[in-house]
Each structure stands twice: as structure tokens, then as C-alpha cells.
Amino acid sequence: MPSLALLGGPPACTVNWPTWPVWDDSERRALLDVLDSGKWWYGARVQQFERAFAAFHDAEFGITTTSGTTALETALLALGIGAGDEVIVPPYTFLATASAVLRVNAVPVFADIQPHTLCLDPDDVERKISPKTKAIIPVHLAGHVADMDRFSTIARQHNLYVIEDACHAWGSQWRGKGVGALGDCGVFSFQASKNITSAEGGIILTNNAELARECRSYVNCGRREGKPWYEHFLLGSNLRMTEFQAALLLAQLSRLPAQNERRAANAQRLFDGLRDLPALRLIQNDPRITRRAYHFFPFRLDLAALQVSRARFKDALAAEGVPTMIGYDRPLYKNPLFQRTWDRGPASCPISCPFYGLPVDYTTVHCPVCEAVVQDTLWLFHTILLAEPAAIDALIAAILKLFDHLDELRS
């Protein structure tokens, strides 16, 4: 009789994993309160959530938006980044990290990631800096904080802005301070899959009062606080959050600390249970990360040692009752958007703007660490980390079972 469930054996893990989103009467009451108030639009609850979320991250100002994507675009605009400027980004992230740069008519420059953190590599960032570089966007991938000491030093030396993409890092801390306002500003997403969600939404955090004022104006149709309603100062847009979204987020925020603690404890349990497997490469937290959020738990496979494809390993885990995700399946620069051939001239903006004055050819970009990571990495989604400890033990047992029966898996 085969041992592996993929080949007809019994599954090792029969857990009903938690689903997402999590909600209760707190959200229900909050939404009904907004409905009954008749005040549904960009009012007291939005302001309350902005203050509460900023305080949670040790930031002075919070400016809500319609999404993490528009938060990034707004931050870039408010910092004056535009045509002809370069912004250094990682290739192992969601499209918005780079597309926001294009949206403001600037040029994303891809620097590689670190194999042990999956976050932007400061050494490669330094190699990619040019006279046109204006900003760096480190991504706190899966809640693991990028090396903000190095990025702060690099930014000071080269007079660059640092915009934290913290869209996976609600509650993460670096040296006891919340992410999002460690650089010039930081952005978060509240999209449906995120650890705190209102289906869509985002926020910009900063400690810079003037930057906060500019962001608020861009989000609110170019208006200025205290000025006439139909007087517009900037080419802004309507990127405002609703009172319904803010009500949901206030309820979600109230349980986030406890959820973060459970995810972190379960992630440590996973790490301890799997750390001795030589063909499994786990991501260990930097000791400077004093609090860690987990949007997912990534692990890398040593495919040469396993002599098993990632797809087969993933299928075998699923059969044992452990759902995993491949996640980002290619570096951003391998997406069709970046593989296009762009002619020079005004019609080719924003990829190759005449203000930039240089050819842009992403087909020649090569980030070797990222290109390996997209081939060998699997993710455990954050809902798994909300399970009971016994479920995590069953998950560990399922993975150990695969390693104990690799000969079957290879057949």
C-alpha cells in the first residue's frame, strides 16, 4: 500500500483550515451604524481610522486611499517624482510596486532580492543607482521587514526618497518602530486577501506634515484643507475612502494585534518543526524585526536535492491536506507589460519618455536570485497561521511525511 495520499494512501492532515475574511458582530454593527447615520462619505470614521492606524504604526499622519496601488501612486506624486526619474524596485512583488512608477511617468529599475529574506537587496540597489535615481521602494515581503538601516543610509548618501511598500506588513516593527514611517512614507493595502481588509482600500503613513498635506490634496481632487470646496490646487484625483470601509477597518484593526500574535506564534512553530529538513529553505527573521506580521509563510525547495518538481511537491502536499500557493510565478520584468518593445518618442510614454532620454529594454534585465526564487518557492497563506496549534502540528507532520517518502514521490 502506498503511504502518500497522492498515490492513494491516507492524508496526514485533515484540518478544516480557517477562511478569510474573519468578521463578527463588530463589523455588522459598525456598518449598520454608518447606514443609519446617513453619513456615508469621507467623514468622522475615516478620520478615526486614519488616526488609529497611524498610531498603531508609530506614525504621525495617515491618509486613506482607494487601494494600496493608488496609495503608491499618490506618494510618488507628492514627492515630486515624475518624467525622467528612476525608481529602484524589487522584481519579486505585486505589479503595483512597479506600475505605480510608470503611472507617474517615471522609470522602474529592477534590483535583485536577497535569497535569505526575499526582500530587496541593498547591495544590488547601490549598484543600480544612477544620476537619474530619485527613490527606492523596498517591499516588506510577507511582513518580513527589508533592511531599513541600509536603505536609510543609502538614501542619505545619495539624496534619495524611501517609500516603504508595506502592503504585507500591517503591524511589523523594525527596532521597536512600526513600518510605514521609517522612510519618507509607507503604503498599505486593505484589499480582500489582506490581513486587515475592507475589500479594497489603502493608506499612506508619514511623519512629514508637508508630505501628508500634499498626499491629502492628491487624494481629494487637488483641494486644500480650509480652502473653498471648488478651489483646486493640484492635478489630483478622487481616491477617497468611504465611511463604510473605515467602519469595517476599525473593527478589523481591533482584532489585528491578537491575530498577528497567533500568526507569529504559529509561524515560529512551523519554523521549529521544519528547520532540520536540509532540502527546505526557511526564511528566518532578522533580529532587528521586533514584531512581525505574516501575509504568508514562504519556504524554498532545494529541487536538486529533492529530485522532485515543485509542481509535484505542491500536488503531494495538497493531497495530504496542506494547501500551498506558488505566489509570484515570474519576476515582474518578465510580464508582457515589460517585455514589449518600446519606441523612443512621446507616443511611447511612460516606458521610455523623451524626458528620460535613454532606451528602456526590460528584456535584458536579469536578477538571478529572483529568477531562482520564482521557480522553487511555495507559500502558506496567512489564514493557515490562524489555525490551532494542533493543526500546525498536523501540517508539519504532512511535510515530514513527504520527506520520509521521497522515493515514492519520485516514482
CB 285 within 8 A of CB 265: no
Separation of alpha carbons 50 and 48, rounded Å: 5
Q: Is 240 a catalytic residue?
A: yes
Per annotation, catalytic residue among 45, 134, 140, 223: 223
Per annotation, catalytic residue among 168, 314, 401, 405: 168
Per annotation, catalytic residue among 61, 94, 151, 381: 94
Q: Is 223 a catalytic residue?
A: yes
Which tens digit of pLDDT belongs to each residue from 149-181?
999 999 999 999 999 999 999 999 999 999 999
Per annotation, catalytic residue among 165, 313, 333, 338: 165
How many Cα neighbours within 13 Å face the side chain of 238?
3
Spatial CB neighbours of 254, under 8 Å, sequence gap ≥ 6: 26
Per annotation, catalytic residue among 24, 25, 230, 276: 230
Q: What is the pLDDT along the chain (411 residues), one digit of tens a residue?
A: 679 999 999 999 999 999 999 999 999 999 999 999 999 999 999 999 999 999 999 999 999 999 999 999 999 999 999 988 999 999 999 999 999 999 998 999 999 999 999 999 999 999 999 999 999 999 999 999 999 999 999 999 999 999 999 999 999 999 999 999 999 999 999 999 999 999 999 999 999 999 999 999 999 999 999 999 999 999 999 999 999 999 999 999 999 999 999 999 999 999 999 999 999 999 999 999 999 999 999 999 999 999 999 999 999 999 999 999 999 999 999 998 888 765 555 445 555 566 788 878 899 999 999 999 999 999 999 999 999 999 999 999 999 999 999 999 998
Q: What pTM was computed for the model?
A: 0.96
Q: Is 94 a catalytic residue?
A: yes
Which tens digit of pLDDT belongs to each residue from 268-282?
999 999 999 999 999
Q: Is 194 a catalytic residue?
A: yes
Domain ranges of the chain: 25-252
CATH topology of domain 25-252: Aspartate Aminotransferase; domain 2 (3.40.640)
Q: Is 314 a catalytic residue?
A: no
Q: Is 128 a catalytic residue?
A: no
Per annotation, catalytic residue among 134, 144, 194, 291: 194
Q: Is 42 a catalytic residue?
A: no
Q: Is 191 a catalytic residue?
A: yes
